[in-house]
Amino acid sequence: MQKIMVQTAALLLCLTLILPTAKAQMAGATAAPPMAKIFGLVVDESTGKAMEYATVALRNRADSSIVTGTITNEVGFFALERIRPGRYDLEVTFIGFTKHVIRDVRVTPQKLELDLGTIRLKSAVIDLNAVTVTGEKKPIEYTLDKKIVNIDNNLATMGGTAADVLATVPSVTVDVDGTVSLRGSADVNILVDGKPSQIVSLDEIPASMIERIEIVTNPSARYDPEGSVGIINIILKKKRSAGYNAVINLNGGTNDRYNTSLNLNYRVNKLNLFFNYDNRFGRMLGGSEQRRTYTINDTSSYLNQEGEYRNRMQGHNLRLGADYDFDAHNTLTISGNLNFRSHLGYNYTTYNNLNSLLDTTDFYDRTNNSNRQNIGKELNLNYKKTYAQEGREWTADLYYSHDQGDGDTKAIQEYLDRFNLLPDWLQNTYSKDTRQAFTIRTDYVHPFNKFSRFEAGYKGDFRGSDSDYRVMNFDAGTNTWLNDTLSTNHFVYNQLINAVYGIYTGASGKFQYQLGLRLEQATNFTDLRTTHQTNRHTYFSYFPSGFLRYRFTDEQGIQLNYSRRINRPYSRALNPFIDYSDPQNLSYGNPNLEPEYIDAFELSNFWETRQGSVYANFYYRQVNDMITRITRLAPSGITYTTFENLNNSRAYGIELTGDYRLTKWWRVNGNWNFYHSEMHGPLITQKEAQSISSWTYA
């Protein structure tokens, strides 16, 4: 019979039916005998990791009736208080693990604090031919510093991609162009298995490969401080079941959208081998329409612009790796990723310029045919060591990525106005983009006791990009292609960041807290090779973080968070070359941009019961030296778009998230978010401060 390991991330949040029984027993007592406290720590026997949300129940040994109960916190600790002297049995349960029972726990007036030590739960192997497994993961789980959305077996996203999955996640929105926003802002850091993959896009990750999404709206010091509104971490499924395992998915949709995936796993003794392949084919059809009116010296002119586009895309992704367990405490993992992507695009746009009398001054169309090919490679090496002391561990990681893309665009511009004698205009553009990254990281976790632990780590991160962009215009007079020196550009950007961090986590009674500090030194180097202009900039930054949670009861509590973050300008925002793909709307980067710093606060109130949960969040962000896209209109009617550091901005909002189980097979959840932002700068007066308000629900 086939056996599988059934594991899950959470179980019951509290025993709501137990507490009234305990209260009734205390109310009926005629005397007030001394009350005892029973406490302990629950961990996974195989990994040594603390188990949060394990259910602990105390039963009367005489009749097996439940006396009281609780759940473990994020460090696996539990405490049962106000226990009368007597004899009891204590049960610890968690779905996917064998129930652990401690028989004949004796509470006496002479020993009012009873430490049960470390309780190790064993993973349960369930025969599916004999047992029906009814346990399931909670759709949304909350920890001290993140929200976890379990995606596995979500019917709403089957057949889609990671972008489709994110569109269903509370707090996250995805627009028609695939731009991901968190709480109304697109300045979010998206990770795959904790790493910023350079070669895999969201449209290339099948939804069937995703296990869960971690939403970190106010990251602690252990995380990279990139992204003003937080982190979205996509965790992919990993198979480590004994023997052979295979999963095949085939999906199809409208507009020739198809994707397949194959997942293979073989585990024997200490070795686990895994292989993943997925591909995606699709095409996109669309159109655009723009009507612009601009006035200069009391004279108005107009631009009517209409377009259509057709894009065809395909991608292939292969992943191969192995885990080797030297013993129960030492594991080495190596994996590699190979990715191929291609994109064929067609874009047709007509431009009609009119004067103040609505007479046509220019009437022409432009056709762009583009072709882009990418190949990417990634290599990961991970070592993990656990210790006899529960919760103590050390990890070391090496990561390397290389991505290269080659593209060309052929443009033809025809003048359709019979009074315009200008010849047709032809242009070819060629680009070669290379990106690479190398990261070395080590992290250490040391628990002092059941209530507190210290974490520390180092990360060295090098990232580089090389963008070679050439533009050729056709000269009808000489019947030759000539290099456009005003548009041709070769830009190199390198960044090196060294960071160290430390975090202390503790608990006192109903309080849980975490304090952290991250220190970083960053060096940026830019080289505009076309004009031999170079720039080197080194700066030091510090990023404190703090979390405080207080539980009024087992079901309700309040939490306050703070963190400091940074949003560094990316290479395209720094590159000063002008993009001529749309002759009426030109754009270019600003090499003098500075990073922006963000102070983020969050206040939450939560209710958690066996049937569901409700979270209410108020959040506030203050941004200094905000990086903002600025568009200016020239007297010629052409717009120029670039980036600048404005003085500051602030944003705040309210978010409500809830889920509730109506029946065993029917669970509902919802999210509502109100968001308001405004910014102030040298180009925007205080009285005319730009502001945006919006709200979403799902």
Tens-place pLDDT, residues 326-379: 987 899 999 999 999 898 999 999 888 888 888 888 788 889 899 999 999 999
Give the β-pairing of 113-121 and 36-44.
Answer: parallel
The predicted pLDDT at position 41 comes to 92
Q: What is the DSSP string of 451-487?
A: S-EEEEEEEEEEEEEEEEEEEEEEETTTTEEEE-TTT
- φ and ψ of 597, to 5 deg: -110, 140
Superfamily of domain 3-127: Immunoglobulins (2.60.40.10)
Q: Among 20-24, 377-381, 470-474, 563-567, which is the least confidently predicted range?
A: 20-24
Tens-place pLDDT, residues 480-524: 888 887 778 899 999 999 999 999 999 888 889 999 999 999 998
- The type of residue at 549 is R
Q: Which residues contact 209 (CB under 8 A, 6 or more apart)?
A: 236, 237, 261, 263, 276, 278
CATH level 3 topology of 140-236: Ferric Hydroxamate Uptake Protein; Chain A, domain 1 (2.170.130)
Taking the C-alpha atoms of residue 518 and residue 220, their distance in angstroms, rounded to an integer, is 9
pLDDT higher at 581 or 670: 670
> How far apart, in Å, are the Cα atoms of 577 and each of 366, 373, 531?
21, 22, 11
Q: Where in the chain is the domain with CATH 2.170.130.10?
A: 140-236
Q: Which two tokens stand for residue 258?
A: 């198809």
Pick the CATH number of 317-697 from 3.40.50.300, 3.30.300.30, 2.40.170.20, 3.30.1330.10: 2.40.170.20
Count of C-beta atoms within a 10 Å radius of residue 1: 6
pLDDT higher at 310 or 628: 310
Q: Which two tokens stand for residue 505?
A: 């986590």
Q: Where in the chain is the domain with CATH 2.60.40.10?
A: 3-127
- Residue (of 380, 6, 330) closest to 192 by Cα position: 380
pLDDT higher at 569 or 125: 569
Taking the C-alpha atoms of residue 295 and residue 298, their distance in angstroms, rounded to an integer, is 6
In contact, 194 and 152? CB cutoff 8 Å: no
DSSP alpha helices (H): ranges in 302-366? none
The pTM of the whole model exceeds 0.75 = no
Taking the C-alpha atoms of residue 518 and residue 95, their distance in angstroms, rounded to an integer, is 36
The number of residues in the chain equals 698
Q: Where in the chain is the domain with CATH 2.40.170.20?
A: 317-697
Taking the C-alpha atoms of residue 548 and residue 562, their distance in angstroms, rounded to an integer, is 9
Taking the C-alpha atoms of residue 62 and residue 685, their distance in angstroms, rounded to an integer, is 76
Give the β-pairing of 257-268 and 231-236.
Answer: unpaired
The predicted pLDDT at position 199 comes to 56
The predicted pLDDT at position 18 comes to 34
